[in-house]
Structure 1
Amino acid sequence: MALELIPNPSLAQRTTLRLGGSAEVEAVVRDERDLDDLGGFLATQTLRPFVIGRGSNLLAREGQLDLALIRVGAAPGPLRVERANDRLMVRCCAAQGLPGLLGWAQKAGLSGLEGLTGIPGSVGGAVAMNAGSYGVEFGDLVTRVRLWSPAGGLDWVDAADCAFSYRHFSSPARPAGRLVWEVEIGLTESTPRAVRKAMQGIYDKKRATQPVTARSAGCVFKNPEGESAGRLLDEAGLKGVSRGGMAFSDIHANFLINLGGGTSAQALELIELGRESVRTAFGVTLETEVIIL
């Protein structure tokens, strides 16, 4: 299978915010054999390489961006691998959608992922950002990650040799690792009914407190240590504030949503407004969680 190259891919079509211009090219990898071609392709490029999953935490600027997007295009379903103590090992491709993985785990009666209900990204993105919600961080479930880089090739790295922290992942053992290809996680056996009930409870809570159906990129800012970015933004008066077609959600102030016809410039203006308002009101400088391209 040959590496597919797509010219001028639209970032608005590849991000949940539905914003942004175009990258120069997108390389779609569907098979391990394509990775050699990807390495050769990247060696010829002066463009900035960027691995894009489902675009659920991205804000892309308008215009033509000097980016070479890299996307894993194949997503075979999750696979039970082996039992280790009280956990069942499950392996899945980075391109696997996180909601699909949760749905598979629910039907299989496997518990551990329920807190991530409602997060729309990919499994690779969940690793790269150490996705977390309702007391669950994806990195806590990881037993090993299969990483690829042009120099080091494709190799499994144990979780003990990885560093997971708040919305961050790195592998000191493979510092040049550029692409998450597969991940293995440990889940516990339960029942489909119990897992479904827990997932439904989480989703109901999120639906009541977050704009889960809106076009957003998830949380805009990281929570400062011991504090809630949403609370700070709310008390600084940002809830519902808009600029053109973009707005801070009137349900949860840490969600930036596209009301329709929004632009990246409007989104960036609101991000700076939110950061400055919280800094003025509380002396706290918020750090963006959303990745700005």
Structure 2
Amino acid sequence: MPLELTANPLLCERTTLRLGGPAVVEAVVREASDLDELSAFLTRETLPPFVIGAGSNLLAGDDPLELALVRVADCPGPERVERDGSAIIVRCGAGLRLPGVLGWAQKAGFSGLEGMTGIPGTVGGAVAMNAGSYGVEIGDLVTRVRIWSPSGGLAWLDRNRCIFDYRHFSPVQMPGKCLVWEVELALRESDPKAVRQSMHDVYEKKKAAQPVTARTAGCVFKNPPEESAGRLLDQAGMKGVRLGHMAFSDVHANFLVNLGGGKAADALELMAMGRERVMDQFGITLEPEVIVL
């Protein structure tokens, strides 16, 4: 199947925050054989490429964006590939949705991912952002990552050639931008009922403390060292603050919520307001966790 191209793709239809104007074009990659065509496409285009997963950590501007979106389509899997000591190695394509992977792992009786219950992104996006919650980061489970770049093609990188920091992944000695194609994770065998209960417990905690059913992009700001961005924003009076149809959640102050018909300009103004208040009151600079386009 040839590379799937879509003109003027709307970011508001591709992000969980439901914000964003049109990009110039989107290229959807379905198979590894499409990557050569993707390389030719990126060579032809004079636009900067941006790899988009489920759009669960993006705040895209209202105006047209001079970007070429690149997206890895959903794919079969996950699959168990081998046992390594007490670990079960599971391979996942980048286009898989993380909730689907957790559901598959639960039914198979594989534990390790439960803390990521409720994260709505793709596997590729989770690796690229080193997504995590409740003490679990996906980078802690990675044994190797298969990445693609126009100059280097497809290549497997062992864990020791990958750097996973707080909400950041980078391959060692691989200059330029790359695309996560698939990943192998080390999970452990467990009882499916125990895994399901653990997932249920995590979801109930999140539902009580986060706006899990609202239109959000996850946490807006990174947690400063030894601090909580949500607590700082709450004490700075940002919880529930509204501008137009955007608001800081009244459940958790580190989540921006699109109340319906929101605008990116209002979201950005709220972010600036929150940063300013936290700086004024605590002398702490909040760094965005959400990616702003």
- Class of the TM-score when normalised by the shorter of the 2 chains: over 0.9
Aligned to 1:18: 18
SS at match of 2:217: strand
One-letter amino acid of the structure 2 residue matched with residue 172 of structure 1: V
Deviation at 1:46, TM superposition (A): 1.4
Q: Is the 8 A contact 1:147 1:177 kept in 2?
A: no
Deviation at 1:176, TM superposition (A): 3.0
1:156 aligns with 2:190: no
CA distance in 2, matches of 1:131, 1:82: 24
Deviation at 1:175, TM superposition (A): 2.8
CA distance in 2, matches of 1:201, 1:163: 30
Aligned to 1:100: 100
One-letter amino acid of the structure 1 residue matched with residue 105 of structure 2: A
One-letter amino acid of the structure 2 residue matched with residue 223 of structure 1: N
CA distance in 1, matches of 2:9, 2:178: 20
CA distance in 2, matches of 1:103, 1:186: 16
Deviation at 1:76, TM superposition (A): 1.0
Q: Is the 8 A contact 2:74 2:97 kept in 1?
A: no
Q: Is the 8 A contact 2:25 2:69 kept in 1?
A: yes
CA distance in 1, matches of 2:254, 2:277: 13
1:179 aligns with 2:179: yes
SS at match of 1:219: coil
TM-score (norm 1): 0.99
1:50 aligns with 2:50: yes
Cα RMSD (Å): 0.7
Q: Is the 8 A contact 1:5 1:25 kept in 2?
A: yes
Q: What are the ranges of 5 or more consecutive residues in structure 1 without an aligned counterpart?
A: none
CA distance in 2, matches of 1:163, 1:183: 14
Q: Is the 8 A contact 1:29 1:74 kept in 2?
A: no
What does 1:99-248 align with in structure 2 at a 5 Å threshold? 99-248=99-248
Deviation at 1:177, TM superposition (A): 4.8
The alignment covers a number of residue pairs equal to: 293
One-letter amino acid of the structure 2 residue matched with residue 292 of structure 1: V
Deviation at 1:285, TM superposition (A): 0.5
Aligned to 1:264: 264
One-letter amino acid of the structure 1 residue matched with residue 161 of structure 2: D
Q: Is the 8 A contact 1:162 1:173 kept in 2?
A: no
Q: What are the ranges of 5 or more consecutive residues in structure 2 without an aligned counterpart?
A: none
Aligned to 1:282: 282
Q: Percent identity?
A: 67
CA distance in 1, matches of 2:89, 2:158: 13
| Moved beyond 6 Å, runs of 4+ | none
CA distance in 2, matches of 1:160, 1:40: 31
1:30 aligns with 2:30: yes
TM-score (norm 2): 0.99
Deviation at 1:64, TM superposition (A): 1.1
CA distance in 1, matches of 2:54, 2:123: 9
